[in-house]
Amino acid sequence: MLIDVALALPLYRTFTYSVPEGTTGSIARGSRVVVPFRNKREIGIVIGEASPKDGLKLKDIVSAPDDRPVLSDALIQLCEWIAEYYVTPLGVALRTALPSALTGASVPLPSRKTRRIATLIAELPTLMERDKTFARSAQQRTLFELLENLGGSAAVEVLNEQLQFSPSVLNGLVKKNLVAISEETVERDPFRLRTPRKSEAHVPTDAQSEAIERLLARKGGEVSLLHGITGSGKTLVYLEFLRSVVNERGQTAIVLVPEIALTPQTVDRFRAVFGDKIAVLHSALSDGERYDAWLAIRRGEKRVVVGARSAIFAPLENLGAIVIDEEHEPSYKQGESPRYHAREVALMRARIEGAVVVLGTATPSLESWTNAAAGRFELLTLPDRAGGAKLPNVSVVDLRSERPKSVSSQENPADSAYAYAISRSLDAALSNRLQKAEQSILLLNRRGYSAFIQCGTCADVSVCPNCSISLTYHRTREQLVCHYCLHTEKVQTTCVRCGGTRIRQRGLGTQQVERLLGERFPSARIARMDVDTTTGKWAHSEILDRVGAGEVDILLGTQMIAKGLDFPNVTLVGVIDADVGINLPDFRASERCFQLLSQVAGRAGRGPKGGQVIIQTRVPTHYAVKCAVAHDFHGFVREEYDGRVNPAYPPVIRLANIVVSGTNEEATRDAADELGNWLRRLMKQRPSPGVTVIGAAPCPIERVKQRWRWHVLVKSERAPEMTRLLKYLAMKFELPKQHGLRLSIDRDPVQLM
């Protein structure tokens, strides 16, 4: 018997092997096989039976480790689409859909531990009997009733989580022969240690009810865009919709969130509703834990999967719904091959498996908005905040007039540095919140102490030797750090270029603002949340739990703090520098800025006390800032869309970014030029209507990790032409085999840096 096998190698084809007699494992489509390939052993996926090829001597597979396929036919179809659309070898796409434990060298055995289960073994039919039995223990009675409500059986630790009783209470029930304790083996699930926040059962508002009903009326493969302002209660809509899908229709569901570590509150709400039926694919899971979760999902024990991007490949069957929260987030796009966008993959999976898709956000991506406007997606709107809360009042501080001219020109450098970072109105608002014991969130989307170091004499800026970006000064280790390649070096006291000794720090980072705030408000409890303070596995949720428990007065952080947080006692949000990123040479810079400002502003005023937002900027008239201040998404979209017509950018056209990189500057430039010319020659020979080729040009960040980078942009009016062209390019265009030259194709890029 012959089989076609996809291998995770940079080759756009499958390979045929023969299956020796006596092979016991599964060789059905979707099973793994170990095969010899160029003197090595590779793990591949069986795509199907192959027909005999004349005159070819085929190699035998080495082994077939699975007793049934690890990928369903639907997931293989999905990966076939990914391979075609994103121009990736099928084997690479298939590998992405599996936990790494299954594609590595050895298959780990799931580790099991046991837990104690309490089960009711006697019923208490009458209230009178109840009163008699529990005459002296109200706690025993509560526990008994909880167990009844949970269907008669539950893990002891779950009961304990909810009631926090002493062991004697349970033992009492056991002695009365009402409850029996047994042991059960469980998969590793680090989340069971988290106590979910008690879910407040809200009655849906009219707008929420309508959205839920319309979602329930959708057919498989259809897509709804849930445009709900910040605090409008999108989570409740997801939950009620999924409750019907999972509990009533008996189907399964996937919930995608941008970064699971940043959204512990959202995850808690899902856990509170779906309990044991939920699998949370946290980025902090070990490979083994991830594999355990995958197994539990495949066995059908988990019916709702919550996770970041890659959770879209969860091996659920009978999939009824896919929810994508914050659908506009760039983290849904994978930065390496296959460069898929989880939203697009979700749409395709939903079409293949007949699931309903919900895209939720306060700031829809221009792509999704355009799809809704064209009627391809159904638009659902939540125009008001839930629970009577109001959108916060947003005001702008013009840094050009309100900021001191320079830090060093003042008498007291510490004072002036503070005044440079925090304007008088933001300072007054912070003091006011501290007095009232209300909480504040401060956004500065730049980590480190200062953005860069510059010589005061010759203006030389310290740059990374490997990348074309400046080094960031980190004070905790007195180092300059490259945020791209992590190169570090000592801070020099004299300029390497001119020998000058007036070395200046420029541009604020979160470390510096944290210090300045500490000096200004010595008794305030300040927490900083950025990449440097969240290296531990559970660091994000530890910080956020402290904020939730009221143990933090000021939460300062990078864009990490802008997402999904729902703290009713936060009444002030300050944006220290709204302009970080607004001038990047990237067609999405304004959209990102608008989204970030709108999202962070949305953290304020979620409770009855209302809220206020202060945005510090040097470009108060920029439409991204103006529209964020006015909570005006429609105004923003109009202006932004017009800006993407000429020159044309998505969603007006389809875009692919083709990057050539290499270790030698000239060779990289020449190869990229050749690529651009090759494409233009091709267009002459076989005209593709509506396709244009731009460049080559250096990437905005010309060098990263010692590799030079040039790019060619391809624009196409229609998707099929783009697919055809990119496929042809991937198969036919060859780079010189020198200077480590590499080609990467990024279709529908979320950034061009």
Q: Which residues bind ligand ADP (CB under 6 A)?
A: 200, 202-205, 208, 228, 230-236, 386-387, 566, 606
Residue with tokens 């010189």: 736
- Beta strands in 558-623, from DSSP E residues, in sequence order: 570-575, 612-617
Give which of ligand ADP, Zn ion, none residue 556 binds (C-beta under 5 to 8 Å, depending on kind): none
Give which of Zn ion, ligand ADP, none residue 482 binds (C-beta under 5 to 8 Å, depending on kind): Zn ion
Chain length of the chain? 753
Residue type for position 512 = Q
- Of 217 and 531, which has the nearer Cβ to Zn ion? 531
Give which of Zn ion, ligand ADP, none residue 537 binds (C-beta under 5 to 8 Å, depending on kind): none
Residue with tokens 């875009």: 655
Give me the torsion for CA of 491, 497, 502, 507, rounded to 10°. -60
Give which of Zn ion, ligand ADP, none residue 271 binds (C-beta under 5 to 8 Å, depending on kind): none
Give which of Zn ion, ligand ADP, none residue 387 binds (C-beta under 5 to 8 Å, depending on kind): ligand ADP
- Of 368 and 470, which has the nearer Cβ to ligand ADP? 368
Smallest gap from residue 116 Cβ to Zn ion (A): 52
Cis peptide bond N-terminal to 36, omega within 30: no
CA distances 680 to 130, 334, 683, 715, Å, are 85, 28, 5, 12
In the sheet with 393-398, reading across from the earlier edge strand, the strands are: 393-398, 612-617, 570-575, 439-443, 554-557, 526-529
CA distances 258 to 8, 262, 309, 709, Å, are 26, 8, 7, 28
- Of 98 and 386, which has the nearer Cβ to ligand ADP? 386
Smallest gap from residue 280 Cβ to ligand ADP (A): 18
Smallest gap from residue 566 Cβ to ligand ADP (A): 4
- Of 565 and 593, which has the nearer Cβ to ligand ADP? 565
Q: 450: Cβ–Cβ under 8 A, 6 or more apart, which residues?
A: 472, 473, 505, 506, 507, 508, 509, 512
Give which of Zn ion, ligand ADP, none residue 233 binds (C-beta under 5 to 8 Å, depending on kind): ligand ADP
Smallest gap from residue 550 Cβ to ligand ADP (A): 16
- Of 226 and 513, which has the nearer Cβ to ligand ADP? 226
DSSP label of 447: -
Give which of ligand ADP, Zn ion, none residue 230 binds (C-beta under 5 to 8 Å, depending on kind): ligand ADP
- Of 204 and 500, which has the nearer Cβ to ligand ADP? 204
Smallest gap from residue 489 Cβ to Zn ion (A): 10
- Say whether 99 sits in a helix, a strand or coil: coil
CA distances 159 to 37, 116, 139, 168, 626, Å, are 53, 11, 12, 14, 51
- Asked if residue 380 lies in contact with residue 364, where contact means CB atoms within 8 angstroms, the answer is no
> Rounded to 5 degrees, what are φ and ψ at 372?
-70, -40
Give which of Zn ion, ligand ADP, none residue 467 binds (C-beta under 5 to 8 Å, depending on kind): Zn ion
Smallest gap from residue 560 Cβ to Zn ion (A): 22
Give which of ligand ADP, Zn ion, none residue 560 binds (C-beta under 5 to 8 Å, depending on kind): none
Smallest gap from residue 474 Cβ to Zn ion (A): 14
Smallest gap from residue 539 Cβ to Zn ion (A): 24
- Of 208 and 454, which has the nearer Cβ to ligand ADP? 208
- Asked if residue 237 lies in contact with residue 361, where contact means CB atoms within 8 angstroms, the answer is no
Smallest gap from residue 208 Cβ to ligand ADP (A): 6
- Of 237 and 704, which has the nearer Cβ to ligand ADP? 237
Residues that bind Zn ion (CB under 5 A): 464, 466-467, 482, 484-485, 487
- What is the C-alpha separation between 603 and 601, in angstroms, rounded? 5
- Of 94 and 561, which has the nearer Cβ to ligand ADP? 561
Smallest gap from residue 264 Cβ to ligand ADP (A): 13
- Of 32 and 271, which has the nearer Cβ to ligand ADP? 271
Give which of ligand ADP, Zn ion, none residue 154 binds (C-beta under 5 to 8 Å, depending on kind): none
Judging by beta carbons within 10 Å of its beta carbon (0-12, 13-18, 19+), is residue 646 exposed, middle or buried? exposed
- What is the C-alpha separation between 117 and 137, in angstroms, rounded? 22
